[in-house]
Amino acid sequence: MKGVAVELGVKDPSVRRTGVNRGVAVIDFILRIIAITATLASAIAMGTTDETLPFFTQFIRFRAKYDDLPMFTFFVVANSIASAYLVLSLALSIFHIIKSGAQNSRVVLIFFDAGMLALVSAGASAAAAIVYLAHKGNTRTNWFAICQQFNSFCERISGSLIGSFVAMVVLILLILLSAAALSRRY
C-alpha cells in the first residue's frame, strides 16, 4: 500500500507536469520561430526602403531612403539584434524540450526576453512616431507631411512596422510561457 501511495502521490503528477512543460517548451520554440520571422521581415522591409522620384531639377534628385531618419536606422538595428538573439535563444528552447525540468536557463531567457521586448518596443514606437508625422505632419511645429510626394516610401515604412508589433506580442507571450513553466515545476 505504501508503494501505491508513493506512485500516486509523487511519481504520477511529476510525469504529468513534465509532459505539460514539454508541451510548453514546444510552443515556446514555435513562437520564437514566428518572432524571428517577424523581426527579420521588419528589418529587411525597412532596410531596403529607397524611393527616387521620377522628376528632378538640375541640382537635386528627390530621393527618400530609410536612413535619412535616424529613428528608422534604430528600428533596423533593434530588429536585427532581436532577430539574432532569438536565433541564439532557439538553442535554449530546444534544451528545454529535452530537459523540461530546467529552471536557471528559463530565468535567463525571461530576463533577456524582457530586454528584447523593451528594445523591439522602443524601435517600433520611434519608427511609428515618424511614420505618423510623415503621414499627417504637424501644423504647430511646421513639420509637413511628406507622404504626398513619397508614396511608395510611406507605404513601405508603414508596412514594415507590422512585424515589430507582432514580435512585441509574441515576446510577451514567451515571457508568460516561461513564467508558467517555472511555476509548474516541482
* 138 DSSP β-pair partners: 143
C-alpha cell at 143: 513639420
Q: Kindly tell me which residue out of 36, 38, 45, 124 binds a second copy, with binding defined by CB under 8 A.
A: 124
C-alpha cell at 84: 539574432
Element (H, E) at 64: strand 61-65
Is residue 52 near a second copy by the rule CB under 8 A? no
Is residue 111 near a second copy by the rule CB under 8 A? yes
Is residue 58 near a second copy by the rule CB under 8 A? no
Is residue 158 near a second copy by the rule CB under 8 A? no
Encode 129-153: b = buried (16+ Cβ within 10 Å), e = exposed.
eebebbeeeeeeeeeeebbeebeeb
**With contact defined as beta carbons under 8 Å apart, do 42 and 168 qualify?**
no
* Span near a second copy by CB under 8 A; candidates 28-36, 40-48, 90-98, 127-135: 127-135
Closest separation in Å from C-beta 128 to a second copy: 7
Is residue 110 near a second copy by the rule CB under 8 A? yes
Is residue 81 near a second copy by the rule CB under 8 A? no
**CB within 8 Å of 139: residues ≥ 6 apart:** none
| Residue 95 or 144 having the CB closest to a second copy | 144
Is residue 128 near a second copy by the rule CB under 8 A? yes
Provide the CB-side half-sphere exposure for 35 (13 A, CA).
30
* 65 DSSP β-pair partners: 50
Is residue 115 near a second copy by the rule CB under 8 A? yes
Is residue 57 near a second copy by the rule CB under 8 A? no
Q: Kindly tell me which residue out of 76, 166, 168, 170 binds a second copy, with binding defined by CB under 8 A.
A: 168
Among 171, 183, 181, 182, CA closest to 24? 181
Is residue 117 near a second copy by the rule CB under 8 A? yes
Summarize as ranges the residues that interact with a second copy (CB under 8 A): 64, 68-71, 103-104, 106-107, 110-111, 114-115, 117-119, 121-130, 132-134, 138, 140-144, 146, 168, 171-172, 175-176, 178-180, 182-183, 185-186
